[in-house]
Structures are given as structure tokens and as C-alpha cells.
Structure 1
Amino acid sequence: MRSRRWSQAYPCPPVSSSCQGAVKLIEAAKKAGIRRFVLLSSVFADEPEKWGDPALAGITDYNIAKFFADQWLVRDSGLDYTIVQPGNLLDEPGRRRRHTRPRGREQGATP
């Protein structure tokens, strides 16, 4: 299957270097014979309805770019993939705890 060109498949937002850079890396991985791609995304990048939250309002352009890159990987790359969506960082002392997914959000295990 022939890949669509990024610019033909998705109109890119103003932060296009972020989404186009990810797509270029995905395509380079395919050419190199890599079968699984791990993409560092952003919290709720795949849930645009949550971008209006005050905690996320400052990174809307970034989430848009991540959304488009995530979509390319999932729908167009043909690769196995893992998308990591880290949560918000807090400006407070650490509690020495880790969560593998946001509370209340059902997701499968990371392969």
C-alpha cells in the first residue's frame, strides 16, 4: 500500500514542523525496516473536546500537532505502534508514586 503524502492527507496547523517532523520520522522508520514506532504524544491529544480545559489551554497548538501526528501513525503508517500520553506535570514536591493511566480512564495495557 502506498502512503499518502502528509500534506495531501491532512491540512497541518500552524505548528506544522511538529506534526510533519513526526511523520517524517515514522516514514524513515518504515524505510529502515522498523516494525514498531513509539511516539511521545500529549495528554488528551486524541480528545479535542478536552482541550478547552484551563489546564490544557496553553498547549492547544501543541495538542493539535500531536493529534495529527497520532492520527497519521494509527491510520496511515501501517506500523505497530505505542503512543505514550504523559499527564500534566505539577509544580509541587513529588510523592514517589507513578500512575500508568489517568484515573477513570479505561485503556488497554501498553504492548
Structure 2
Amino acid sequence: MKIKQLFLIIPLALLFITSSCGKTIKPSEDSNNKKALSEIQKEPKIKHATITDDNILYASVEDDGTIRNGYAEYLCEILKENNATTNWVKIVKVNSSKDLNSGDDHGILLGEANCN
């Protein structure tokens, strides 16, 4: 009888523990991400920047014809300095979110970097 009770109690206890751990914080609401985003928005080249629920930093800049992978890596350093959880940066052309050549809703990709 005691073994059957243990098999009932243990899963219920685990369910209670995991459900009471608190809610998940969205990347855009994480305090370190907010601090890093604030610093990134001060950069002169940045026209707009946001962190998505997928934990990707999208930064809009003017298209000067250059590949912006290096700039994305620079923004990774700002993320790291602020202990942000965001670890992927995509640089997109400003005001190109509705462009037919855009790969997604954020705009035409000019450069990107994985911050890991």
C-alpha cells in the first residue's frame, strides 16, 4: 500500500513544484535585455531596435550597401556587456518590413550574428 501511495504522491508533488515556480519572463521584459536594448538604441546608426519573443534583437539601420555582419557582432558585444539573454542579432534595412524582398516581417536582412 505504501508503494502505491508513493507512486501517487511523487508525481503530484513534482507537478505542484513545477507549476509554482512562477511565470516565464518574455525576453522583451527581462531587465538585462531592457538595459542592453536601451544602450543599443543610443547608437547613432540605429533607427529602431527591438527584442522579439523569439529572443532575437532586430536593429534597423540605413542601407549603405555594405554587409552588416560586423555591426551585428558589435551589437552582440553590447548584449554581452549587459548580461542580456538575447544571443542572436539581425540587422535590417529601415522601413523595409513591407518590402517584397523582405525575408520576414522585420525587413530586408543586411547582416546577422550569433552572439554565442
The interval holding the TM-score normalised by the smaller chain is under 0.3
Query: Which protein has greater RCO, CA pairs closer than 8 Å, 6+ apart?
Result: 1
User: TM-score under structure 2 normalisation?
Assistant: 0.25
More strand by share: 2
User: TM-score under structure 1 normalisation?
Assistant: 0.26
